[in-house]
Amino acid sequence: MNTYLGASTLLGADDLDEKLIQSGQTLFLEGYLFDRDEAKAAFVRAAEIARAAGRKVSLTLSDTFCVDRHRDSFRHLVSGHVDILFCNESEILSLYESDDLGDAVAQARKACPLVAVTRSEHGSLIATKDETVEAKAFPVAKVVDTTGAGDQYAAGFLFGYTRNKSLAECGALASLAAAEVISHMGPRPETSLRELAQKHGLSV
């Protein structure tokens, strides 16, 4: 995937809508936008606005290439401004320059209150300071297109998290949303996720 983000790459602190950030329960930061110094400053400022309003801040690392380019800046952001970190196995290994997942997760949970690591067909690990929860992947008859899987995972997780679901429930909702989107072309669900969750006995 050769990503072109257009005008989004010009994100700066002046583009932030403070009232909008303050009104949401959880701010979601997209790592793909983290290239320019102006964008990095905007990320930090947005996180400060959210936290000052008593909101949570979540971040997805987006891509290993992003982490490789901006490792130190990402570490600073994660350790000082992020409450929920979303990443896949390769991204967290790159972030902490480790070849051992357990070691990388141990470093991450010291820096960030909640870390969710996706592992494709192996499900995901959700780690806090005090516990680690393993969420199983939902079976998919055929993987058609993985575009959007990480974003759907984060969406499902945050849906549960903002409704005070347990980490296990958040992980299940996240896995279900990701499974739906990889079963067809395109990054958006083609089935009602609410109905799908209810079908699988998940409370929504």
Q: Is the dihedral of CA 182, 185, 187, 188 positive or negative?
A: negative
For residue 89, CA distances in Å to 14, 57, 123 come to 34, 21, 11
β-pair type (132-135, 124-128) = antiparallel
> 189 vs 20, 165, 179, CA distance in Å?
25, 22, 10
User: Which of 83, 99, 130, 151 is an active site residue?
Assistant: 151
Sign of the dihedral defined by the CA atoms of residues 120, 122, 124, 130, in that order = negative
151 is catalytic: yes
Instruction: Give ∠ CA 118-142-136 in degrees, rounded to 5.
Output: 30
Exposed, middle or buried: residue 199 (CB in 10 Å: 0-12, 13-18, 19+)? exposed
Distance, CA of 71 to CA of 73 (rounded, Å): 6
Which bin fits 85, alpha (ψ -120 to 50), beta or left (φ > 0)?
beta
List active site positions: 151
